[in-house]
Structure 1
């Protein structure tokens, strides 16, 4: 597979994530990750088994993503992708970017980690308020 093929596959993977998040299709969102994948935001990291609750608690709307910058390194890669989220009821926006790690699997490229960074009106870049999502812990 060429570098161009790898980049195209990763871009399609990230497009599937954005469309599935927009549609609220949790199974398809989970399908873009490796089984040991994780998502980081709100001052914490969430394994995939907690991701459905995180998605359910999140505002609904349109996930607009830009073309990622991806650095390939054999069967792994790292990248950054800009995001503009538009909430559906009042069209409020959140902007920021994802920092990702990817791995080639037998099923193709998958996200291993995805970390959200929000860009605030003040210009501050942060991972969100820790209390924005309450985890249920045993």
Structure 2
């Protein structure tokens, strides 16, 4: 195995662990843990909106509670920039109250930082019962007081 292969495998493993931390901390409702997997300028997109890290405490609080079950991400490290990557990760969220499911996938960008790999952007695409793939209804999440 060459040094480049070792570095590539190390990068893939680190990103996979980062994504596992996202799923576990979302499942546990650990806002600080969720925020820690993003770059300082990181964003999350869904429901026709782009949310900054400042919005995460309210987003996590407003999100339904349950199991964030994610699959292995398809990660592309083959770009010219060795400090950036892209990926897609499947998701099945199961609400704990009724066991209702939401399925879809995240489209991600990753950035290597001094602290290691982090999510820079995460955009949710839902797969609807009719087979349509979309980002959700605009303003599906409202924050009290707005």
TM-score (norm: length of structure 2): 0.91
What is the SS of the residue equivalent to 1:131?
coil
Residue aligning to 1:127: 135
User: Contact 2:49–2:139 (CA<8 Å) still a contact in 1?
Assistant: no
Pairing partner for 1:102 from 105, 110, 118: 110
Q: Which has the larger radius of gyration?
A: 2
Residue aligning to 1:27: 32
2-structure distance, mates of 1:137, 1:109: 35
Residue aligning to 1:64: 69
Residue aligning to 1:92: 100
Residue aligning to 1:45: 50
2-structure distance, mates of 1:137, 1:98: 29
Shift of 1:130: 1.1
Residue aligning to 2:11: 6
Q: How many residues align?
A: 138
Shift of 1:52: 1.1
Q: Which runs of 5+ in 1 are unaligned?
A: none
User: Contact 2:38–2:118 (CA<8 Å) still a contact in 1?
Assistant: yes
Q: Which runs of 5+ in 2 are unaligned?
A: 1-5
User: Contact 2:18–2:117 (CA<8 Å) still a contact in 1?
Assistant: yes
TM-score (norm: length of structure 1): 0.96
Shift of 1:129: 1.1
Shift of 1:135: 4.7
